[in-house]
A and B are shown apart, each in its own frame.
Chain A
Amino acid sequence: MMIINYLAAIVCLICWILVLLKMFPAEGVVKGILAIICGLYAFIWGWLNASKLNLRNVMVLWTIAIVVSIALSLMGSPIYSR
């Protein structure tokens, strides 16, 4: 369970960074920093621009990782504390 947790966390982190790498040149510094501050914004932006910037696979993977994280959390896994 914990291993799946950590794997999901790593996948989330990698996908977020990949979206940031596309976002900074496309949207500028201010929105890029906003996406660093608010990962949720990066997630939404990623989906809105998935086709245009070839991010569909990344976003699908990120979404799956989020669903897995939330599901494990609901099952009582210590997802938010270490």
Chain B
Amino acid sequence: MGARVDAPSGSSPLLAEAQRGMTASPFASMLRSRPAAALLAGITALQLGLVAFGLPGWPCPLLHGLGIPCPGCGLSRAALELLHGQWRAALSRHAFAPAFLVAWVAVCGTSLLPEGLRLPLIDGVERLERRTGFSALLLAGLVLYWIARWTFARETLLLLTGRQP
């Protein structure tokens, strides 16, 4: 009774990976792949650059397709405001801008640093992640923040993302 049913062959690695993603350290696992981290860092830098020059950047599928700002909408502009020292404006636009910038710096670091420095950094991030669960907490907070803004400050949210309320 209660015997564990093994997943069909071929899907066990996926199941194991999914379980790892739920319980382990998803952010650190993302940092471990240098090409993936470099790609993410580079494309994020490109996005920030495009937004900084007032050019069209990444078209958010949710905003573009359904007219609903996603939880991450406004982060690029908020991050740029933060980089310019405009704390109040940045936090008004998106409260998670500081967390986004810290994450981006970590991603940039792990894509550029030599192995001798990179691996201890990733190990440290993984330990912190396992101990605090910060990835899941941040994502949950971000979703709750988005729900609260959509529920109580929809017009402001739409204006911040360039939409008409």
Identify the A interface with B (CB < 8 A).
8-10, 12-13, 15-17, 24-34, 36-41, 43-44, 47-48, 66, 69-70, 73-74, 79-82
Contact partners of A39 in chain B: CB under 8 A: 58, 60-62, 70, 72
Main secondary structure of the interface of B (DSSP, over half): helix
Count contacts on B: residues with CB < 8 A to the other chain: 43
Verify B162–A81 contact, CB threshold 8 A.
Answer: yes
Main secondary structure of the interface of A (DSSP, over half): helix
Q: How many A-B residue pairs have CB under 8 A?
A: 113
Closest Cβ of chain B to A75, distance in Å, is 10
A49 to B146, CA, bound (A): 29
Contact partners of B156 in chain A: CB under 8 A: none
Greatest chain B CB density within 10 A among A12, A13, A37, A70 is at: A37
20 new A-B contacts, CB < 8 A, other than A29-B18, A48-B39, are: A8-B64, A9-B61, A12-B59, A13-B61, A13-B62, A13-B64, A16-B62, A26-B18, A27-B21, A27-B26, A28-B19, A31-B26, A31-B30, A36-B71, A37-B139, A37-B142, A39-B72, A40-B44, A43-B58, A48-B36
